[in-house]
Chains A and B, each alone.
Chain A
Amino acid sequence: MRTPYIALLATATLALTAGAGRVAPSAGGTISGKVTYTGTPPKMKPIDMAKEPFCARLHAAAPVLTENVATGPGNALRWVLVYVSAGEQGAASTTETVRLDQKGCQYIPHVLVLQPNQPLDIYNDDSTSHNIHPLAKVNPEWNKSQPIGAPPIHAKWEKPEFIPVKCNVHPWMHGWHLVLATPHYAVSGEDGAFSLQGLPPGKYTVTAWQEQFGTQTQDVTISGNETKTITFVFKATPY
Protein backbone atom coordinates (compact mmCIF):
# COMPACT_ATOMS: atom_id res chain seq x y z
CA MET A 1 0.00 0.00 0.00
CA ARG A 2 1.70 3.13 -1.22
CA THR A 3 -1.27 5.46 -1.25
CA PRO A 4 -1.16 6.60 2.40
CA TYR A 5 2.45 7.73 1.99
CA ILE A 6 1.62 9.70 -1.09
CA ALA A 7 -1.35 11.27 0.63
CA LEU A 8 0.82 12.10 3.62
CA LEU A 9 3.44 13.62 1.37
CA ALA A 10 0.83 15.67 -0.46
CA THR A 11 -0.56 16.94 2.82
CA ALA A 12 2.89 17.84 4.06
CA THR A 13 3.69 19.70 0.86
CA LEU A 14 0.43 21.63 1.05
CA ALA A 15 1.02 22.48 4.70
CA LEU A 16 4.50 23.71 3.87
CA THR A 17 3.45 25.88 0.97
CA ALA A 18 0.65 27.36 3.02
CA GLY A 19 2.94 28.41 5.83
CA ALA A 20 3.24 27.25 9.42
CA GLY A 21 0.18 26.40 11.45
CA ARG A 22 -2.35 26.98 8.70
CA VAL A 23 -4.18 24.51 6.55
CA ALA A 24 -4.09 25.57 2.96
CA PRO A 25 -7.55 26.49 1.67
CA SER A 26 -6.92 24.22 -1.27
CA ALA A 27 -6.49 21.18 0.99
CA GLY A 28 -8.97 18.43 0.28
CA GLY A 29 -10.16 16.50 -2.69
CA THR A 30 -10.86 17.71 -6.20
CA ILE A 31 -13.53 16.80 -8.69
CA SER A 32 -12.59 17.94 -12.14
CA GLY A 33 -13.53 17.10 -15.68
CA LYS A 34 -15.12 18.31 -18.82
CA VAL A 35 -18.59 19.09 -20.14
CA THR A 36 -19.28 18.03 -23.71
CA TYR A 37 -22.22 17.44 -26.02
CA THR A 38 -23.32 14.79 -28.50
CA GLY A 39 -25.58 15.48 -31.46
CA THR A 40 -26.02 18.77 -33.25
CA PRO A 41 -26.28 21.85 -31.04
CA PRO A 42 -27.96 25.05 -32.22
CA LYS A 43 -25.52 27.28 -34.08
CA MET A 44 -24.13 30.24 -32.22
CA LYS A 45 -25.70 33.01 -34.27
CA PRO A 46 -24.24 36.45 -34.82
CA ILE A 47 -26.31 39.06 -32.98
CA ASP A 48 -27.59 41.96 -35.06
CA MET A 49 -27.08 45.08 -32.96
CA ALA A 50 -28.05 47.52 -35.72
CA LYS A 51 -30.72 49.03 -33.44
CA GLU A 52 -27.97 50.12 -31.06
CA PRO A 53 -25.40 51.89 -33.27
CA PHE A 54 -22.95 52.36 -30.36
CA CYS A 55 -22.69 48.61 -29.75
CA ALA A 56 -22.91 47.68 -33.44
CA ARG A 57 -19.81 49.81 -34.08
CA LEU A 58 -17.92 48.10 -31.23
CA HIS A 59 -18.48 44.69 -32.78
CA ALA A 60 -18.20 45.78 -36.42
CA ALA A 61 -15.19 43.50 -37.04
CA ALA A 62 -16.56 40.39 -35.32
CA PRO A 63 -20.21 40.22 -34.32
CA VAL A 64 -21.05 38.81 -30.89
CA LEU A 65 -22.50 35.29 -30.96
CA THR A 66 -25.47 34.01 -28.98
CA GLU A 67 -24.42 32.35 -25.72
CA ASN A 68 -27.39 30.20 -24.69
CA VAL A 69 -25.52 27.22 -26.16
CA ALA A 70 -21.80 28.04 -26.41
CA THR A 71 -19.57 25.35 -27.83
CA GLY A 72 -15.80 24.95 -28.19
CA PRO A 73 -13.32 22.62 -29.85
CA GLY A 74 -13.69 18.90 -29.08
CA ASN A 75 -17.47 19.17 -28.52
CA ALA A 76 -16.85 21.29 -25.42
CA LEU A 77 -19.83 23.03 -23.79
CA ARG A 78 -19.17 26.41 -22.23
CA TRP A 79 -21.12 28.26 -19.51
CA VAL A 80 -22.26 25.08 -17.77
CA LEU A 81 -22.60 25.40 -14.01
CA VAL A 82 -21.15 22.41 -12.12
CA TYR A 83 -21.83 22.37 -8.37
CA VAL A 84 -22.19 20.19 -5.31
CA SER A 85 -25.93 19.72 -4.87
CA ALA A 86 -25.77 17.18 -2.02
CA GLY A 87 -23.08 16.25 0.47
CA GLU A 88 -20.89 18.39 2.72
CA GLN A 89 -21.74 21.92 1.55
CA GLY A 90 -19.34 23.99 3.59
CA ALA A 91 -20.05 27.61 4.43
CA ALA A 92 -20.82 30.03 1.63
CA SER A 93 -18.55 33.06 1.59
CA THR A 94 -20.49 36.28 1.23
CA THR A 95 -18.02 39.08 1.69
CA GLU A 96 -16.24 39.50 -1.64
CA THR A 97 -18.07 41.76 -4.09
CA VAL A 98 -18.88 40.18 -7.45
CA ARG A 99 -18.90 42.31 -10.55
CA LEU A 100 -21.20 42.19 -13.55
CA ASP A 101 -20.39 44.32 -16.57
CA GLN A 102 -22.64 45.50 -19.33
CA LYS A 103 -20.11 45.98 -22.07
CA GLY A 104 -20.73 46.18 -25.80
CA CYS A 105 -24.39 45.36 -25.07
CA GLN A 106 -23.39 42.02 -23.53
CA TYR A 107 -23.44 40.71 -19.98
CA ILE A 108 -19.93 39.84 -18.89
CA PRO A 109 -19.85 37.17 -17.64
CA HIS A 110 -22.83 35.53 -19.30
CA VAL A 111 -23.21 33.21 -16.29
CA LEU A 112 -22.51 34.82 -12.91
CA VAL A 113 -22.47 32.69 -9.76
CA LEU A 114 -23.21 34.29 -6.42
CA GLN A 115 -23.68 33.13 -2.86
CA PRO A 116 -26.73 34.26 -0.89
CA ASN A 117 -26.32 37.90 0.26
CA GLN A 118 -23.02 38.29 -1.56
CA PRO A 119 -22.62 41.92 -2.66
CA LEU A 120 -23.05 42.42 -6.40
CA ASP A 121 -22.00 45.55 -8.29
CA ILE A 122 -23.45 46.06 -11.75
CA TYR A 123 -21.58 48.39 -14.09
CA ASN A 124 -22.65 50.05 -17.30
CA ASP A 125 -19.47 50.43 -19.36
CA ASP A 126 -21.36 51.45 -22.50
CA SER A 127 -22.22 54.81 -24.02
CA THR A 128 -25.85 53.80 -24.06
CA SER A 129 -28.53 53.27 -21.41
CA HIS A 130 -29.31 49.82 -20.14
CA ASN A 131 -32.00 48.52 -17.86
CA ILE A 132 -31.20 45.56 -15.66
CA HIS A 133 -34.22 43.33 -15.25
CA PRO A 134 -33.59 40.15 -13.25
CA LEU A 135 -36.67 37.95 -13.66
CA ALA A 136 -36.50 36.51 -10.16
CA LYS A 137 -39.38 34.51 -8.74
CA VAL A 138 -38.18 33.30 -5.32
CA ASN A 139 -36.28 36.54 -4.76
CA PRO A 140 -37.95 39.88 -5.54
CA GLU A 141 -38.04 40.81 -9.22
CA TRP A 142 -36.79 44.33 -9.94
CA ASN A 143 -36.02 46.49 -12.93
CA LYS A 144 -33.68 49.51 -12.82
CA SER A 145 -32.38 51.83 -15.48
CA GLN A 146 -28.67 52.60 -15.72
CA PRO A 147 -27.97 55.50 -18.07
CA ILE A 148 -24.60 56.42 -19.54
CA GLY A 149 -22.06 57.16 -16.82
CA ALA A 150 -24.35 56.13 -13.95
CA PRO A 151 -22.62 54.70 -10.86
CA PRO A 152 -22.72 50.94 -10.29
CA ILE A 153 -25.96 49.43 -9.01
CA HIS A 154 -25.47 47.63 -5.70
CA ALA A 155 -27.53 44.49 -5.35
CA LYS A 156 -27.64 41.14 -3.62
CA TRP A 157 -29.79 38.02 -3.70
CA GLU A 158 -30.95 36.51 -0.44
CA LYS A 159 -32.17 33.13 -1.56
CA PRO A 160 -30.72 30.41 -3.80
CA GLU A 161 -32.31 30.70 -7.25
CA PHE A 162 -31.29 30.59 -10.91
CA ILE A 163 -32.34 34.02 -12.17
CA PRO A 164 -32.50 34.95 -15.87
CA VAL A 165 -31.48 38.55 -16.44
CA LYS A 166 -32.38 40.71 -19.41
CA CYS A 167 -32.20 44.22 -20.73
CA ASN A 168 -35.49 45.29 -22.26
CA VAL A 169 -33.89 48.03 -24.34
CA HIS A 170 -31.52 45.52 -25.97
CA PRO A 171 -33.53 42.29 -26.20
CA TRP A 172 -30.52 40.20 -27.21
CA MET A 173 -28.84 40.86 -23.86
CA HIS A 174 -29.37 37.80 -21.77
CA GLY A 175 -27.50 36.42 -18.77
CA TRP A 176 -27.88 34.47 -15.56
CA HIS A 177 -27.43 35.17 -11.87
CA LEU A 178 -27.03 31.76 -10.28
CA VAL A 179 -27.41 32.05 -6.52
CA LEU A 180 -25.95 28.98 -4.85
CA ALA A 181 -25.81 28.08 -1.16
CA THR A 182 -22.73 25.90 -1.70
CA PRO A 183 -19.25 27.37 -2.18
CA HIS A 184 -18.32 24.30 -4.26
CA TYR A 185 -19.05 25.32 -7.83
CA ALA A 186 -17.40 26.00 -11.16
CA VAL A 187 -18.52 27.26 -14.56
CA SER A 188 -17.12 25.40 -17.55
CA GLY A 189 -14.73 27.35 -19.74
CA GLU A 190 -14.35 27.47 -23.49
CA ASP A 191 -12.70 24.03 -23.35
CA GLY A 192 -15.60 22.66 -21.28
CA ALA A 193 -13.28 22.13 -18.31
CA PHE A 194 -14.29 22.58 -14.69
CA SER A 195 -12.70 21.90 -11.32
CA LEU A 196 -14.23 21.76 -7.83
CA GLN A 197 -11.45 22.04 -5.27
CA GLY A 198 -10.99 21.85 -1.52
CA LEU A 199 -13.63 19.17 -0.96
CA PRO A 200 -13.46 17.44 2.43
CA PRO A 201 -13.68 13.63 2.24
CA GLY A 202 -17.25 12.46 1.77
CA LYS A 203 -20.01 11.51 -0.61
CA TYR A 204 -21.13 14.16 -3.07
CA THR A 205 -23.79 14.62 -5.67
CA VAL A 206 -22.47 16.84 -8.43
CA THR A 207 -24.97 18.59 -10.69
CA ALA A 208 -24.26 20.11 -14.08
CA TRP A 209 -26.76 22.70 -15.35
CA GLN A 210 -26.97 24.07 -18.86
CA GLU A 211 -29.55 26.78 -19.49
CA GLN A 212 -31.08 25.05 -22.51
CA PHE A 213 -30.29 21.36 -21.97
CA GLY A 214 -31.22 21.13 -18.29
CA THR A 215 -29.43 19.23 -15.53
CA GLN A 216 -27.45 16.03 -15.02
CA THR A 217 -26.14 14.59 -11.78
CA GLN A 218 -23.40 12.19 -10.74
CA ASP A 219 -22.44 10.75 -7.37
CA VAL A 220 -18.78 11.02 -6.44
CA THR A 221 -17.01 9.82 -3.28
CA ILE A 222 -13.88 11.69 -2.25
CA SER A 223 -11.35 10.36 0.21
CA GLY A 224 -8.29 12.29 1.26
CA ASN A 225 -6.82 14.69 -1.22
CA GLU A 226 -7.58 12.64 -4.28
CA THR A 227 -8.73 14.06 -7.60
CA LYS A 228 -11.65 12.37 -9.27
CA THR A 229 -12.35 12.97 -12.91
CA ILE A 230 -15.90 12.97 -14.21
CA THR A 231 -17.47 13.91 -17.51
CA PHE A 232 -20.88 15.34 -18.25
CA VAL A 233 -22.26 14.72 -21.73
CA PHE A 234 -25.37 16.62 -22.79
CA LYS A 235 -27.46 15.47 -25.70
CA ALA A 236 -27.76 18.53 -27.89
CA THR A 237 -31.01 19.24 -29.68
CA PRO A 238 -30.73 21.61 -32.63
CA TYR A 239 -33.85 23.67 -31.84
Chain B
Amino acid sequence: MRPKTPVAAWVSGVVILLSAVGPRPGVAQESHIGNLTGHAAAGKKVYRRYCILCHGAEGDGTGENAMWIDPKPRDFTLAVFKCRSTPSGTLPTDEDLFNAMTRGFVTTNMPAWLPLTHQNRADAIAYIKTFSPKWRTLKPGTPITIPSEPSATIASILHGRELFQKMECWKCHGPAGHGDGPSAKTLTDNKENPIPPYNFSTGSRFKCGVTNQDLYRIFMTGLDGTPMPSFADDIRPADAWDLVHFLRTLQPLETPEAAIWKSWLASHAQELKPIGPPGTAQ
Protein backbone atom coordinates (compact mmCIF):
# COMPACT_ATOMS: atom_id res chain seq x y z
CA MET B 1 0.00 0.00 0.00
CA ARG B 2 1.33 3.37 -1.07
CA PRO B 3 0.45 6.38 1.08
CA LYS B 4 -2.13 8.53 -0.63
CA THR B 5 -0.86 11.57 -2.47
CA PRO B 6 -2.69 14.80 -1.67
CA VAL B 7 -4.27 14.69 -5.12
CA ALA B 8 -5.57 11.17 -4.60
CA ALA B 9 -6.93 12.20 -1.21
CA TRP B 10 -8.59 15.19 -2.81
CA VAL B 11 -10.15 13.08 -5.54
CA SER B 12 -11.48 10.50 -3.09
CA GLY B 13 -12.88 13.36 -1.01
CA VAL B 14 -14.74 14.67 -4.02
CA VAL B 15 -16.04 11.18 -4.79
CA ILE B 16 -17.32 10.82 -1.24
CA LEU B 17 -18.95 14.25 -1.45
CA LEU B 18 -20.62 13.37 -4.73
CA SER B 19 -21.92 10.06 -3.44
CA ALA B 20 -23.31 11.81 -0.36
CA VAL B 21 -25.41 14.19 -2.44
CA GLY B 22 -28.12 11.57 -2.63
CA PRO B 23 -30.17 9.98 -5.34
CA ARG B 24 -30.31 11.51 -8.74
CA PRO B 25 -32.16 9.77 -11.52
CA GLY B 26 -29.79 8.75 -14.23
CA VAL B 27 -26.86 8.19 -11.90
CA ALA B 28 -25.17 4.89 -12.66
CA GLN B 29 -27.07 2.05 -11.04
CA GLU B 30 -26.71 -1.59 -11.82
CA SER B 31 -28.72 -4.75 -11.54
CA HIS B 32 -27.26 -8.22 -11.25
CA ILE B 33 -29.25 -11.16 -12.48
CA GLY B 34 -27.19 -14.33 -12.63
CA ASN B 35 -24.29 -13.51 -14.95
CA LEU B 36 -26.10 -10.53 -16.42
CA THR B 37 -25.34 -6.97 -15.40
CA GLY B 38 -28.00 -4.40 -16.18
CA HIS B 39 -27.15 -0.72 -16.61
CA ALA B 40 -29.47 2.13 -15.76
CA ALA B 41 -28.36 4.29 -18.71
CA ALA B 42 -29.37 1.57 -21.18
CA GLY B 43 -32.42 0.77 -19.06
CA LYS B 44 -33.65 4.34 -19.38
CA LYS B 45 -34.06 3.82 -23.13
CA VAL B 46 -35.99 0.59 -22.59
CA TYR B 47 -38.11 2.26 -19.92
CA ARG B 48 -38.93 5.30 -22.03
CA ARG B 49 -40.04 3.09 -24.87
CA TYR B 50 -42.00 0.36 -23.07
CA CYS B 51 -42.76 1.35 -19.48
CA ILE B 52 -43.23 5.12 -19.34
CA LEU B 53 -46.82 5.23 -20.58
CA CYS B 54 -48.08 3.44 -17.48
CA HIS B 55 -45.36 3.95 -14.87
CA GLY B 56 -44.66 7.59 -15.81
CA ALA B 57 -41.52 9.61 -16.49
CA GLU B 58 -40.79 9.91 -12.76
CA GLY B 59 -41.59 6.26 -12.08
CA ASP B 60 -44.42 7.19 -9.74
CA GLY B 61 -47.08 5.18 -11.57
CA THR B 62 -48.84 8.19 -13.08
CA GLY B 63 -48.11 7.73 -16.79
CA GLU B 64 -50.63 8.77 -19.45
CA ASN B 65 -52.39 5.40 -19.37
CA ALA B 66 -52.57 5.16 -15.59
CA MET B 67 -55.98 6.78 -15.28
CA TRP B 68 -57.52 4.02 -17.43
CA ILE B 69 -55.88 1.21 -15.54
CA ASP B 70 -57.05 -0.74 -12.52
CA PRO B 71 -55.13 -1.96 -10.56
CA LYS B 72 -52.86 1.08 -10.87
CA PRO B 73 -49.31 0.78 -12.20
CA ARG B 74 -46.59 0.33 -9.56
CA ASP B 75 -45.16 3.51 -8.03
CA PHE B 76 -41.41 2.84 -8.09
CA THR B 77 -40.65 5.89 -5.94
CA LEU B 78 -41.94 3.97 -2.89
CA ALA B 79 -39.77 0.89 -3.57
CA VAL B 80 -42.55 -1.35 -2.23
CA PHE B 81 -42.98 -4.59 -4.20
CA LYS B 82 -45.42 -7.48 -4.03
CA CYS B 83 -43.36 -10.34 -5.36
CA ARG B 84 -40.25 -10.83 -3.30
CA SER B 85 -38.14 -13.71 -2.06
CA THR B 86 -37.16 -11.43 0.84
CA PRO B 87 -38.94 -10.76 4.16
CA SER B 88 -41.73 -8.19 4.47
CA GLY B 89 -40.36 -4.67 4.78
CA THR B 90 -37.16 -5.37 2.85
CA LEU B 91 -36.21 -4.59 -0.72
CA PRO B 92 -36.54 -7.43 -3.23
CA THR B 93 -33.52 -8.89 -4.99
CA ASP B 94 -32.77 -7.90 -8.58
CA GLU B 95 -33.85 -11.42 -9.60
CA ASP B 96 -37.22 -10.87 -7.91
CA LEU B 97 -37.81 -7.75 -10.01
CA PHE B 98 -36.53 -9.45 -13.14
CA ASN B 99 -38.86 -12.41 -12.57
CA ALA B 100 -41.84 -10.11 -11.93
CA MET B 101 -41.17 -8.23 -15.17
CA THR B 102 -40.73 -11.48 -17.07
CA ARG B 103 -43.84 -13.08 -15.60
CA GLY B 104 -46.09 -10.03 -15.80
CA PHE B 105 -49.00 -9.64 -13.42
CA VAL B 106 -52.04 -11.76 -14.12
CA THR B 107 -55.39 -9.88 -13.86
CA THR B 108 -53.58 -6.55 -14.39
CA ASN B 109 -52.37 -4.58 -17.42
CA MET B 110 -48.77 -5.58 -16.79
CA PRO B 111 -47.82 -8.04 -19.53
CA ALA B 112 -45.11 -10.68 -19.47
CA TRP B 113 -42.13 -8.93 -21.05
CA LEU B 114 -40.82 -12.03 -22.79
CA PRO B 115 -40.31 -10.21 -26.12
CA LEU B 116 -37.58 -8.10 -24.51
CA THR B 117 -34.13 -9.65 -24.32
CA HIS B 118 -32.75 -10.68 -20.96
CA GLN B 119 -30.29 -7.79 -21.24
CA ASN B 120 -33.10 -5.31 -21.94
CA ARG B 121 -34.96 -6.52 -18.88
CA ALA B 122 -31.87 -6.39 -16.66
CA ASP B 123 -31.21 -2.83 -17.86
CA ALA B 124 -34.81 -1.77 -17.16
CA ILE B 125 -34.53 -3.19 -13.64
CA ALA B 126 -31.34 -1.17 -13.07
CA TYR B 127 -33.19 1.95 -14.20
CA ILE B 128 -36.31 1.53 -12.07
CA LYS B 129 -34.00 1.32 -9.04
CA THR B 130 -33.01 4.95 -9.65
CA PHE B 131 -36.52 6.16 -8.77
CA SER B 132 -36.25 5.60 -5.01
CA PRO B 133 -33.44 6.66 -2.66
CA LYS B 134 -34.04 3.42 -0.74
CA TRP B 135 -31.97 1.56 -3.32
CA ARG B 136 -28.99 3.65 -2.22
CA THR B 137 -29.44 3.49 1.52
CA LEU B 138 -30.81 -0.03 2.01
CA LYS B 139 -29.72 -3.48 0.90
CA PRO B 140 -32.17 -6.07 -0.42
CA GLY B 141 -33.34 -8.52 2.24
CA THR B 142 -31.92 -12.02 2.54
CA PRO B 143 -34.14 -14.41 0.58
CA ILE B 144 -36.08 -16.79 2.80
CA THR B 145 -34.98 -20.41 2.71
CA ILE B 146 -37.56 -22.83 1.40
CA PRO B 147 -36.98 -26.42 2.49
CA SER B 148 -37.59 -29.10 -0.12
CA GLU B 149 -41.22 -30.02 -0.49
CA PRO B 150 -42.44 -33.18 1.20
CA SER B 151 -45.02 -35.25 -0.68
CA ALA B 152 -48.61 -34.27 -0.15
CA THR B 153 -50.57 -36.68 2.04
CA ILE B 154 -54.06 -36.52 3.42
CA ALA B 155 -52.48 -35.75 6.81
CA SER B 156 -50.59 -32.75 5.44
CA ILE B 157 -53.70 -31.48 3.64
CA LEU B 158 -55.85 -31.81 6.75
CA HIS B 159 -53.22 -30.07 8.85
CA GLY B 160 -53.01 -27.30 6.25
CA ARG B 161 -56.76 -26.93 6.50
CA GLU B 162 -56.46 -26.51 10.27
CA LEU B 163 -53.91 -23.74 9.67
CA PHE B 164 -56.22 -22.07 7.15
CA GLN B 165 -58.78 -21.90 9.96
CA LYS B 166 -56.33 -20.98 12.75
CA MET B 167 -54.41 -18.30 10.82
CA GLU B 168 -57.79 -16.92 9.75
CA CYS B 169 -56.94 -16.94 6.05
CA TRP B 170 -60.71 -17.28 5.53
CA LYS B 171 -61.32 -13.79 6.92
CA CYS B 172 -60.29 -12.43 3.53
CA HIS B 173 -60.09 -15.45 1.20
CA GLY B 174 -63.40 -16.93 2.37
CA PRO B 175 -64.19 -20.29 3.99
CA ALA B 176 -64.00 -22.06 0.60
CA GLY B 177 -61.28 -19.80 -0.82
CA HIS B 178 -63.66 -17.88 -3.06
CA GLY B 179 -62.20 -14.51 -2.04
CA ASP B 180 -65.40 -13.66 -0.19
CA GLY B 181 -64.41 -13.60 3.50
CA PRO B 182 -65.99 -11.09 5.91
CA SER B 183 -63.14 -8.58 5.39
CA ALA B 184 -62.84 -9.05 1.61
CA LYS B 185 -64.94 -6.09 0.53
CA THR B 186 -63.13 -3.58 2.74
CA LEU B 187 -59.58 -4.36 1.62
CA THR B 188 -57.44 -1.54 0.23
CA ASP B 189 -53.82 -1.36 -0.90
CA ASN B 190 -51.22 1.12 0.38
CA LYS B 191 -52.71 3.83 -1.88
CA GLU B 192 -56.19 3.23 -0.48
CA ASN B 193 -57.37 1.65 -3.73
CA PRO B 194 -59.74 -1.33 -3.35
CA ILE B 195 -58.04 -4.68 -3.88
CA PRO B 196 -59.70 -8.11 -3.92
CA PRO B 197 -58.19 -11.15 -2.20
CA TYR B 198 -57.19 -14.03 -4.46
CA ASN B 199 -60.11 -16.28 -5.40
CA PHE B 200 -58.81 -19.85 -5.44
CA SER B 201 -61.87 -21.15 -7.28
CA THR B 202 -60.80 -19.32 -10.46
CA GLY B 203 -57.77 -21.60 -10.63
CA SER B 204 -55.86 -18.71 -12.17
CA ARG B 205 -52.15 -18.14 -11.73
CA PHE B 206 -51.02 -16.27 -8.64
CA LYS B 207 -49.64 -12.77 -9.12
CA CYS B 208 -46.25 -13.98 -7.94
CA GLY B 209 -45.93 -17.31 -9.73
CA VAL B 210 -47.51 -20.68 -10.41
CA THR B 211 -45.55 -23.32 -8.54
CA ASN B 212 -45.97 -24.72 -5.04
CA GLN B 213 -42.71 -22.95 -4.14
CA ASP B 214 -44.20 -19.66 -5.32
CA LEU B 215 -47.27 -20.28 -3.18
CA TYR B 216 -45.06 -21.03 -0.15
CA ARG B 217 -43.11 -17.82 -0.77
CA ILE B 218 -46.25 -15.71 -1.15
CA PHE B 219 -47.62 -16.28 2.33
CA MET B 220 -44.23 -16.44 4.06
CA THR B 221 -43.00 -13.10 2.66
CA GLY B 222 -46.38 -11.42 2.24
CA LEU B 223 -47.21 -9.16 -0.70
CA ASP B 224 -45.95 -5.76 0.45
CA GLY B 225 -48.20 -2.84 -0.40
CA THR B 226 -51.27 -5.11 -0.24
CA PRO B 227 -53.33 -6.43 2.70
CA MET B 228 -51.61 -9.82 2.41
CA PRO B 229 -49.28 -10.03 5.43
CA SER B 230 -46.22 -12.14 6.01
CA PHE B 231 -46.78 -15.31 8.07
CA ALA B 232 -43.07 -16.03 8.46
CA ASP B 233 -43.18 -15.40 12.22
CA ASP B 234 -46.24 -17.59 12.71
CA ILE B 235 -45.93 -20.65 10.50
CA ARG B 236 -43.07 -23.15 10.77
CA PRO B 237 -41.53 -24.33 7.47
CA ALA B 238 -42.97 -27.86 7.73
CA ASP B 239 -46.40 -26.46 8.51
CA ALA B 240 -46.08 -24.05 5.60
CA TRP B 241 -45.90 -26.96 3.16
CA ASP B 242 -49.04 -28.41 4.70
CA LEU B 243 -50.82 -25.14 4.06
CA VAL B 244 -49.59 -25.15 0.46
CA HIS B 245 -51.01 -28.64 0.00
CA PHE B 246 -54.37 -27.62 1.36
CA LEU B 247 -54.56 -24.41 -0.71
CA ARG B 248 -54.11 -26.48 -3.87
CA THR B 249 -57.31 -28.38 -3.05
CA LEU B 250 -59.25 -25.12 -3.25
CA GLN B 251 -58.36 -24.68 -6.91
CA PRO B 252 -60.25 -26.49 -9.70
CA LEU B 253 -56.98 -27.90 -11.03
CA GLU B 254 -55.84 -31.45 -11.53
CA THR B 255 -53.08 -31.46 -8.97
CA PRO B 256 -51.82 -34.37 -6.87
CA GLU B 257 -53.19 -32.57 -3.81
CA ALA B 258 -56.66 -32.26 -5.35
CA ALA B 259 -56.66 -35.96 -6.25
CA ILE B 260 -55.76 -37.03 -2.70
CA TRP B 261 -58.36 -34.65 -1.29
CA LYS B 262 -61.17 -35.82 -3.58
CA SER B 263 -60.69 -39.49 -2.87
CA TRP B 264 -60.53 -38.86 0.89
CA LEU B 265 -63.61 -36.58 0.81
CA ALA B 266 -65.67 -39.23 -0.94
CA SER B 267 -65.82 -41.26 2.27
CA HIS B 268 -65.00 -38.71 5.00
CA ALA B 269 -66.82 -35.48 4.13
CA GLN B 270 -69.02 -35.69 7.22
CA GLU B 271 -65.92 -35.67 9.51
CA LEU B 272 -64.92 -32.14 8.48
CA LYS B 273 -65.54 -29.26 10.79
CA PRO B 274 -66.64 -26.16 8.90
CA ILE B 275 -64.16 -23.35 8.30
CA GLY B 276 -65.17 -19.91 9.52
CA PRO B 277 -66.06 -18.14 12.73
CA PRO B 278 -66.30 -20.57 15.68
CA GLY B 279 -69.80 -21.91 16.28
CA THR B 280 -71.21 -21.12 12.87
CA ALA B 281 -72.15 -23.85 10.47
CA GLN B 282 -71.32 -23.22 6.85
Contacts and interface: CB of A to CB of B under 8 A. Distances in A.
Main secondary structure of the interface of B (DSSP, over half): loop
B89 A142 contact: yes
Given A143-B224, A144-B88, A150-B233, A51 B182 contact: yes
Contacts of A132: 229
Interface in A110-151: 128-129, 131-133, 135, 137, 140-148, 150-151
Main secondary structure of the interface of A (DSSP, over half): loop
B78 A137 contact: yes
A169 B172 contact: yes
A135 B75 CA distance: 14
Interface residues of B, number: 32
B231 interface: yes
B234 A170 contact: no
With a 10 A CB-CB cut-off, give which of A53, A132, A133, A153 has the most chain B CB atoms: A133
Given A169-B183, A171-B183, A147 B234 contact: yes
A: contact size bracket:
20 to 34
A168 interface: yes
B277 A53 contact: yes
Nearest to A143: B229
A147 B168 contact: yes
Nearest to B227: A168
B90 interface: yes
Contacts of B157: none
A140 B88 CA distance: 9
B225 interface: yes
B228 interface: yes
Nearest to B233: A144
A129 B227 CA distance: 13
Given A128-B168, A168-B172, A143 B228 contact: yes
A132 B226 CA distance: 12
Contact of A147 (B167, B187, B232): B167
A28 to B, nearest CB: 35
Question: When A and B form their complex, which 4 residue pairs have the shortest distance between CB atoms, in order from nearest?
Answer: A142-B89, A168-B227, A131-B229, A129-B168
Interface of A: 51-53, 128-129, 131-133, 135, 137, 140-148, 150-151, 153, 168-171
18 contacts: A51-B183, A129-B171, A131-B229, A132-B229, A140-B80, A140-B89, A140-B134, A141-B80, A142-B222, A143-B226, A144-B229, A145-B222, A145-B229, A146-B233, A147-B167, A168-B183, A169-B183, A171-B183
